[in-house]
Amino acid sequence: MPPRPEVLPCPPRRTVLKAGVAAGLSGLLLPALSACTPTDRPGTVTVAGGEPGGFYLEFAELLAASLQRHGVAGQATALTTGGSLDNLEHLLTGKATFAVALADSAAQSTAAGEPPAVGLSAVGKVYENYVHCVIRHNSEIRDISGLAGRTVAVGEPGSGTSLTTPRLLEAAGLSSTAGTAGGVTVLSLGLNEGLAALRDGTVDALFWSGGVPTAAIAAANDDVGLGFLDLSPLLPALRAKYGVFYDRVLIPAGAYAGIPSVWTVGVANLLLCRSDLDDRTVKRTVELLVGHAEELIPRSSLGVQFLSPESLINTAGLPLHPGAAAAYRELHG
């Protein structure tokens, strides 16, 4: 078994809860975070996050800071990664203690090939992920079928976006074989490279899966002006082939300056750990997620967090770690 990983650094405490979090916690009497001494906590915890400018990394940094601040671990740090698939690899190989990942990526990891010696467990659903299909505001593309014959950034290898995007293109009747009917030229570009390519016109659209608003997209929109395609018509085909990981969600008007509301595809974002992580560390992490939710909301968030016992347990079929299940029973009854 690989050596146990380590913990993360904390952000300043937020003074106001988002409405969704406040509602989720209203009326719930929260216990104090379980007392912990230096001898019964991990010395170091690592949280696998994501790309700079994205929600994953921001959340991972906040979580690491909170884990350290409240003594769940002696030291905590966040990892910059390519995204969900990278994070799952870090977790299974013992390079990370916790990881954030899309539910569809986690499901594929647990279903693919030979089962790993140590499996994955869920700590909770931490927020909803929104798939953004980003175009320039003056683009002639009006819907996803208009991507035929175009060049599209489909996510950095190792990201959850790189798994979800081909499924979306398939559901739209498009293929990644350029020059054919419905053919799309795909480039494996992450968020920041993809936005740069969108700015200079070398790609016609960018797929990105993250929170709303994603800071890097908001900045690019302020710079050059962007728009989004409605992906919700693809849901029936997606769910029929891949299961119920996908939901219809709304990017609200005002989330990005000047861009009207648009429906898109949502995927649950989960906080995961290895199944062999000790129950006490997982239980104390759940207590932190619920009792200190206000510390874990990225500054750019419009309230897409779900840090209440009722929503945290909705882990899209991935089993809860026994320590998390015990904590939710105590908190929620």
Q: Residues 104-122: pLDDT tens digits?
A: 999 887 765 444 556 899 9
The pLDDT tens digits for 294-318 are: 899 887 665 555 677 788 999 988 8
Cis ω before 213 (30° cut-off from 0): yes
CA pair distance 105, 187, nearest whole angstrom: 20
242 in the same domain as 139: yes
Q: Provide the pLDDT for residue 114.
A: 46
Q: What is the CATH number of the domain that holds 97?
A: 3.40.190.10
Comparing 32 with 138, which gets the higher pLDDT? 138
Q: Provide the pLDDT for residue 324.
A: 96
Is residue 31 pLDDT above 90, yes or no? no
Q: Provide the pLDDT for residue 30.
A: 44
Whether residue 12 lies inside any domain: the answer is no
At 196 the three-state DSSP class reads helix
Is residue 23 pLDDT above 70, yes or no? no
Residue 164: pLDDT band (50, 70, 90) is: very high
Whether residue 102 lies inside any domain: the answer is yes
Residue 248: pLDDT band (50, 70, 90) is: very high
Whether residue 313 lies inside any domain: the answer is yes
33 in the same domain as 23: yes
Is residue 266 pLDDT above 60, yes or no? yes
Whether residue 14 lies inside any domain: the answer is no
What mean pLDDT comes out for the span 315-330?
93
Is residue 235 pLDDT above 80, yes or no? yes
Residue 333: pLDDT band (50, 70, 90) is: low
Is residue 257 pLDDT above 90, yes or no? yes
Which of these three, 248, 267, 286, is where a domain ends?
Answer: 267
What mean pLDDT comes out for the span 226-232?
98
Which of these three, 226, 249, 267, is where a domain ends?
Answer: 267
Whether residue 208 lies inside any domain: the answer is yes
CA pair distance 294, 21, nearest whole angstrom: 8
Which of these three, 267, 284, 305, is where a domain ends?
Answer: 267
Whether residue 170 lies inside any domain: the answer is yes
The pLDDT tens digits for 75-111 are: 999 999 999 999 999 999 999 999 999 999 998 877 6
Strands (E), 151-245: 151-153, 185-187, 205-210, 226-228
141 in the same domain as 64: no
Is residue 186 pLDDT above 70, yes or no? yes
Whether residue 11 lies inside any domain: the answer is no
Is residue 162 pLDDT above 70, yes or no? yes
CA pair distance 11, 184, nearest whole angstrom: 42
Q: Provide the pLDDT for residue 19.
A: 31
46 in the same domain as 165: no
151 in the same domain as 89: no
Residue 263: pLDDT band (50, 70, 90) is: very high
Whether residue 79 lies inside any domain: the answer is yes
207 in the same domain as 164: yes
Q: Provide the pLDDT for residue 244.
A: 86
111 in the same domain as 190: no
Q: Provide the pLDDT for residue 13.
A: 29
Write the CB contacts of 17 (distance below 8 Å, at least 6 apart in sequence).
Answer: 25, 293, 294, 297
Residue 18: pLDDT band (50, 70, 90) is: very low
Is residue 195 pLDDT above 70, yes or no? yes
CA pair distance 290, 114, nearest whole angstrom: 35
170 in the same domain as 95: no
Q: Structurally, how many domains does the chain consist of? A: 2
Mean pLDDT rounded to a whole number for the chain: 84
Domain that holds residue 249: 130-267
In the chain, the percentage of residues whose pLDDT exceeds 90 is 66
Is residue 182 pLDDT above 90, yes or no? no
Strands (E), 211-297: 226-228, 246-251, 262-274
219 in the same domain as 187: yes
284 in the same domain as 224: no
Comparing 211 with 109, which gets the higher pLDDT? 211
Residue 10: pLDDT band (50, 70, 90) is: very low
CA pair distance 157, 84, nearest whole angstrom: 10
